[in-house]
Structure 1
Amino acid sequence: MTFELTWHGHSTWAVTVDDTELLIDPFFDNPKTDTSPEELDPDYLLLTHGHADHIGDVDRYEGATVVATPELAGYLEDNFGHENAVGGMGMNLGGTVECGDAWVTMVRADHSNGIETGYGTSAGMPAGFVISDKKPTQEADADATTFYHAGDTSLHSEMKDVIAPFLEPDAAAVPAGDHFTMGPAQAAVAVDWVDADVAFPMHYDTFPPIEIDTDEFVREVKATGSDAEAVVLDGDERYTLAE
């Protein structure tokens, strides 16, 4: 089983699970990536919420199957022609869908979710995703490989009470840029709560308000007492979880 992660800056991640390519929150207008959107050809397009810095390049991937809330999936269909949303109307928090060789569970994120700058236009609830090469069950599976993308979020107790015990992420990508999401200190607590072995900061340095010293994230992860390895990736750098 191949399970690879590539960070393309901000909250944009390409995830490969065996022969299945997933792309999360495509936004390539950020200073961490040299990748052109056309270089990627995902099978599935996972969208955490409707802010422009998370759906900025969705129009490049009309052939991909959209995984998003019904509200956001409907918006994409109306405005960009996407008609391939999983289930025809998207999915919602707590649901798990089979995406090729991967299983995708939509989980809670605490954030706002207006589409573009229209604060009255809601894309439903914001979300995070847990991607696994095995269907999640209540029985622990040591052979499963699992990646948690927290989306844009603050710290919330479901990380400890739901995501950690039932979805068991091996690796977690958490927003650490502060201002609009968690900063390094709360992001580190999130890493500890989900009990991940590997932790990546994301959603930082894209705009002046979210510029941070990533060494602070590394220090804060250590300060929690977590055993997680804090890994700060370069833009477009690949990390192999399993092969």
Structure 2
Amino acid sequence: DAVAIAKKTGARLVTNFELGTNMGKLLGYPKEQMGFDTLMNIGGEITIADGEVMVAMTPAVHSSGLGNPLAKEPDPEIAPGGSAAGFVLKIKNGPTIYHSGDTAYFKDMEVIGERYAPDVALLNVGGHFGMEPEMAARAAANVKVRLAIPMHFGTFPVLAQDTTLFRQALKKQGVPFRQLHPGETIAFEGKRIKPAGK
């Protein structure tokens, strides 16, 4: 959906260099909406939205590739996506959000917590291709977030189909849980979640 959203909104692409280049070349992401100001790599930090948002690219332990719709023999069907990554968004006068991306649990997640002190974490919990639910709960505790939101589950048969195990493991860790459904949003007042309907 990234290309359609970009063409509709003018959104700039924030990703690693390899994935960005291949999204332009193979999928038609508008080249004028990406550049060295927003293409980055793990460990890098940039500011966007006129300085209102700092974006940090964090490690992830996973593979990374992009389906190649132009592939013809002998071209590979999967184009390189560079290093797998997560992101931290630090919003001025708002929350700091950690998006793990698809990843396995890794001990250096603690450093993400120490450096950025995220308020909210979006964590992959489906297992099989990434963190198992119990390890995702451990990640939430080690990053020291105030709210954990599950993602990347129930999308196809080999993944966990619900968040029960994640929710139970979070409870043991003392980390609050919130599940969002497609189309649902959360609003913030500063770093606090705005009550629903206000």
Residues 86 and 97 of structure 1: CA distance in aligned 2, closer, same or farther (over 3 Å) = farther
Instruction: Give the corresponding residue for 1:132.
Output: 90
Shift of 1:89: 7.0
In 2, Cα distance between the equivalents of 1:108 and 1:219? 26
Based on CA coordinates, which of the two structures has the bigger radius of gyration?
A: 2
In 2, Cα distance between the equivalents of 1:193 and 1:230? 15
- 8 A Cα contact 1:73 1:89, kept in partner: no
Higher strand share: 1
Shift of 1:163: 0.4
Residues 72 and 204 of structure 1: CA distance in aligned 2, closer, same or farther (over 3 Å) = same
Instruction: Give the corresponding residue for 1:25.
Output: none
Of 69, 75, 82, the match for 2:30: 82
Deviates more, 1:85-94 or 1:99-108: 85-94
Q: CA RMSD in A?
A: 1.9
- Unaligned stretches of 5+ residues in structure 1: 1-56, 135-142
Please state if 1:159 is matched with 2:93. no
Deviates more, 1:92-101 or 1:108-117: 108-117
Q: Say which SS state the counterpart of residue 185 (structure 1) adopts.
A: helix
In 2, Cα distance between the equivalents of 1:147 and 1:172? 6
Matched AA of 2:134: A
- 8 A Cα contact 2:97 2:118, kept in partner: yes
- Unaligned stretches of 5+ residues in structure 2: 69-75, 191-198
In 1, Cα distance between the equivalents of 2:162 and 2:23? 35
Instruction: Give the corresponding residue for 1:112.
Output: 63
Q: Say which SS state the counterpart of residue 156 (structure 1) adopts.
A: coil
Residues 88 and 119 of structure 1: CA distance in aligned 2, closer, same or farther (over 3 Å) = farther
Please state if 1:148 is matched with 2:98. yes
Shift of 1:211: 3.4
Instruction: Give the corresponding residue for 1:178.
Output: 127
Alignment coverage as a number of residue pairs:
176
In 2, Cα distance between the equivalents of 1:166 and 1:237? 29
Instruction: Give the corresponding residue for 1:65.
Output: 12
Instruction: Give the corresponding residue for 2:152.
Output: 203
- State the TM-score, normalizing by the size of structure 2: 0.82
Instruction: Give the corresponding residue for 1:242.
Output: 189
Matched AA of 1:158: D
Identity %: 32
